[in-house]
Amino acid sequence: MLARQKIATLHGIALHCGYPAVANKTERIKAIEETSHLYSSIKPAPLNILSIDVGIKNFSYAKASYERPLEQARSFKLHDWNHVNLHDQFGASQANSSTSLPKTYLARLADSVVNKIILSDSWVPSVILMESQRTRSNTNSVTLPNVLLNYTLEHMIYAAYTARLDAFPSYKDVPILATNSGKMVNFWLNRFIKKDSRMNLTFSKKLRAGLFFGWLADSKASPIDLLEISSRLPSDFGASTSKKQTSYFLDSFSFATKPGKADDLIDCMLYNIGAFQQLLHHFQLQHQISHDKDVLPLLESWNNDHLRYVAPVVERFDLALRPEFCSWQYGRMYSNR
């Protein structure tokens, strides 16, 4: 069935479902089938997602449940969403000023993360997402030491997690998927929004915050029901400046460590909701394939929904849609295609 599709259709499917987007059609179909096999092993109801943004002083994570995703329900339950300074929580506070830490110390932090954050008898994730630590700082002597520490911690977490699986058999079949901010931004924004001359690391962070805050301000634009979070915010949240929105947001939660900025917490939630969207699309696609139904209407509905999701940030930052979506207006087509 997939072999009958055009390469553009397969590309759209890959982007919406989080499948690898390789160039060759045969390899693309193979990648979709292999990833589908992995996704199909994930328990869909409820869909419990743990997303992790690794950092020693700014370790962020979100535990969320999505009820009845196969029924396209928008229900969302937030079990835990936190920002932790691992030195203060599990290590030694005096280590905050050090850029050179013994690997035994990092191993202790990793072990604590696994035992006290990841593993639980009361809430078991269907899938775990962990942000891969960037390596683009390898020529920057200022940021490189911290990047290397986070990189080492990330891999120690994998090792500590694997070592504990025998004691937590319910986690043995839980996949851990590596992700990064580039993939996340591409999923939510870049594939729909025209390249902008303002785009840099700082502007990208503003857009991600604007996307999430837009959902909190306008429930109709959100892919899921975020009332559990938006109900904490003042009524003028949507009309407030970005700086004020960040302040309102940070003040609405009692985090283990008071974050100086909201970036990591927001990214963590965008990873989480993005994974839900990709898995939901995967389940919908498999239903179409199993019933030998045309996938084009499904792909069009995904595009239509996604344009509604990005509408608040498009309007707030005066962004332009990519040419192929210029006949669409935030979830409604200007004209028939």
CB 161 within 8 A of CB 118: yes
Q: What is the CA radius of gyration of the chain?
A: 20
202 vs 210: CA distance, rounded Å: 12
In the chain, helix, strand, coil percent, each to 5? 55, 10, 35
Which tokens go with 268?
Answer: 């963590």
* Per-residue confidence (pLDDT) for residue 135, from 0 to 100: 56
Running DSSP on this structure, what letter comes out for residue 292? T
- What's the pTM value of the predicted model, to 2 decimals? 0.93
Q: Confidence band (pLDDT; 50, 70, 90) for 81?
A: very high
Q: Which residues contact residue 308 at a Cβ distance below 8 angstroms, ignoring those fewer than 6 apart?
A: 220, 221, 330, 331
Decide if pLDDT at 198 tops 60.
yes
Report the alpha-carbon distance of residue 208 to residue 269 in Å, rounded: 10
**Per-residue confidence (pLDDT) for residue 329, from 0 to 100:** 53
Nearest-angstrom CA–CA distance, 44 and 279: 8
- The reported pLDDT for the residue numbered 234 is 96
Vertex 50: Cα angle to 48 and 52 (nearest 5): 170
What CA–CA distance (Å, rounded) separates 106 from 154?
10
What's the pLDDT score for residue 100? 86
- 14-38 pLDDT, tens digit each: 999 999 888 789 999 999 999 998 9
Residue 291 tokens, joined? 């019933």
pLDDT above 90 covers what percent of the chain? 77
Q: Are 196 and 210 in contact (CB under 8 A)?
A: no
Least confident of 252-256, 258-262, 297-301, 323-327: 323-327
Mean pLDDT (the chain, rounded): 91
Of 191 and 133, which is predicted with more confidence?
191
Q: Looking at the predicted structure, is the pLDDT value of residue 336 above 50?
A: no
Confidence of residue 328 (pLDDT cuts 50, 70, 90): low
Per-residue pLDDT for 331 more than 50? Answer: no
User: What confidence score (pLDDT) does residue 192 get?
Assistant: 94
For β-strands 77-84 and 59-66, DSSP reports them as antiparallel
Confidence of residue 111 (pLDDT cuts 50, 70, 90): very high
Residue 332: is its pLDDT beyond 60?
A: no
What angle in degrees, to the nearest 10, is found between the helix axes of 201-217 and 263-290? 70
* Domains located in the chain, CATH noted: 1-39 (no CATH), 40-333 (3.30.420.10)
